[in-house]
Amino acid sequence: MIGIGVDIGGTFVKFYVMNEHGEILRKEKMETLPSIGADGFLRQIASFINQIKTQFSGQPIAVGVGAPGDVDNQRGILRYNPNLPFQNIDHWPLADILQKYTAIRPYVANDATLATWGIYESLLKRQGDNVLVVTLGTGVGGGLILGKELYQGSNGTAGEIGHTKIDCSPSAPLCGCGERGCLEAFVGTIGIRRRVMESIRRQPHSTLAEMVQQEQNFKIELVSRAAEQGCPVALKIWQDTGFFLGTGIANAVLALDVDTVVLTGGVSGAAKYFLSETQNVLNRQKIQTPFKNMKLLVSQDPNMGGVGAAMYAIYQELKK
């Protein structure tokens, strides 16, 4: 069986062609061009799928599509996405349209959810029964494996740990979702940037402050570079990030009792500066049972969205 994984992003679409042994046979990247319009965009994806169908004719083909945003995985509809550069795509029936163009019904799910399956199959080799994956970037998302199966919830939105609350005070920072006090408002890149700017106002002569003032655009890497040079302000920003993240993870683990937590996404690249504090928060929990043997891991593999989409489609087809 051949699996095609399509990882849709705001700037690029990535394609992964895989076999059932988890080997990547082909990898492609295509720019997400606003000028071709939503239908032209899906026709391009369909044309890639049809090309693979011809190349592997005679073999069964399974297709998985990961899309950012709010996805109805049952019906294959992208309910809402603010980051794709197309007009009028609310309630976009991705699965129906791609099926019309390719004659294959794709499995469509949230991208972080399918990346979770990629991490579970390809990196963890299905070790562990219950796994929480936390994606750390501009947004903070995630996915869940419960009882060795991908758990998407009643509406396809399970794993949205970024919008669980870690601060209920009226002055808690505002999140992109419109609520206050979400985990994402503390450990997403916008939340980290806010704390960096506050620290610069308080300590304008720190190494971090000087680095940020020299650069045109703020980048999270600056906080890591300053931390690398021993800047106490930068180290404190990462330590606080680790603390907030630990608080969010502890809440999820208390609710779900998972055996493994995997951190992934761009910000997880700075794990060496914040992971020990995250682990400290977990070690300090008074109800220790779910934390005692829980593994906290980091995966920096950027292929997991597409790999997970391909492998999940194969897995579902072989189960039939």
Which residues of this protein are in contact with Zn ion, per CB under 5 A? 163, 175, 177, 179, 182
Nearer to Zn ion, 106 or 143 (CB): 143
Nearer to Zn ion, 5 or 141 (CB): 141
- Per DSSP (E only), the strands in the chain are 2-8, 12-19, 24-31, 61-67, 70-72, 77-80, 107-110, 131-136, 140-146, 149-151, 260-264, 295-298
The DSSP bridge pattern shows strands 2-8 and 12-19 to be: antiparallel
Tokens for 241?
Answer: 């990030």
Q: Which amino acid is at 261?
A: V
State the nearest-atom distance from the C-beta of 265 to Zn ion, in Å: 16
Tell me the backbone φ, ψ of residue 238, rounded to 5 degrees.
Answer: -70, -40
State the nearest-atom distance from the C-beta of 272 to Zn ion, in Å: 27
State the nearest-atom distance from the C-beta of 222 to Zn ion, in Å: 25
Contact 298, 263 (CB under 8 A): yes
Nearer to Zn ion, 14 or 163 (CB): 163
CA distance 82 to 132: 25
Contact 181, 166 (CB under 8 A): yes
State the nearest-atom distance from the C-beta of 218 to Zn ion, in Å: 21
Contact 104, 63 (CB under 8 A): yes
Tokens for 43?
Answer: 């026709």
Nearer to Zn ion, 186 or 312 (CB): 186
CA distance 113 to 161: 12
State the nearest-atom distance from the C-beta of 197 to Zn ion, in Å: 20
* Residue 298: alpha-carbon gap to chain centroid: 13
Nearer to Zn ion, 65 or 182 (CB): 182
State the nearest-atom distance from the C-beta of 186 to Zn ion, in Å: 10
Tokens for 137?
Answer: 């970037």
Residue appearing with tokens 């977990």:
282
Inter-CA distances, 2 with 23, 49, 51, 98, 146, Å? 10, 11, 13, 17, 26
Nearer to Zn ion, 63 or 182 (CB): 182
State the nearest-atom distance from the C-beta of 163 to Zn ion, in Å: 4
Nearer to Zn ion, 163 or 195 (CB): 163
State the nearest-atom distance from the C-beta of 79 to Zn ion, in Å: 17
Nearer to Zn ion, 207 or 241 (CB): 241
